[in-house]
């Protein structure tokens, strides 16, 4: 199951990246309503974006980021057709990545 939806659109010399990541982003401070026990922390720690293999963005996240986070950022230097890769790693070692073409 893909956990990331992404778009990379070039406008002039600036590329806008928009991504939606499916992740519970549990803080470890919320109780399960049925059991009353704390739900263990489970959150994305690092998000990376590469353009043709070169890192253009790194975000370090913590448990304060909301469930199913939305990420948007801009950068310069891309051309139409370039390969953009977005990846994440969480505090349990789980990860996912996706590639798209700049349009």
**Residue ranges of domains in the chain, CATH in brackets:** 4-101 (2.60.40.10)
Model confidence over 12-21: pLDDT tens digits? 999 999 999 9
Starting at the edge strand found earlier in the chain, the sheet holding 83-90 runs: 54-60, 44-51, 83-90, 95-101
Model confidence over 72-100: pLDDT tens digits? 999 999 999 999 999 999 999 999 999 99
Does the predicted TM-score (pTM) go above 0.85? yes
């Amino acid at each position: 199951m893909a956990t990331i939806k992404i778009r990379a659109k070039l406008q002039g010399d600036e590329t806008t990246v928009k991504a939606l990541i499916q992740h519970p982003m549990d803080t470890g401070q919320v109780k399960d309503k049925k059991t009353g026990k704390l739900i263990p922390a489970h959150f994305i720690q690092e998000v990376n974006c590469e353009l043709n293999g070169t890192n253009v963005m790194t975000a370090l996240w913590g448990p304060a980021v909301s469930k199913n986070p939305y990420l948007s950022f801009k950068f310069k230097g891309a051309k139409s057709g370039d390969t953009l890769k977005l990846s994440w790693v969480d505090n349990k070692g789980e990860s996912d990545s996706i590639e798209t073409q700049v349009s």
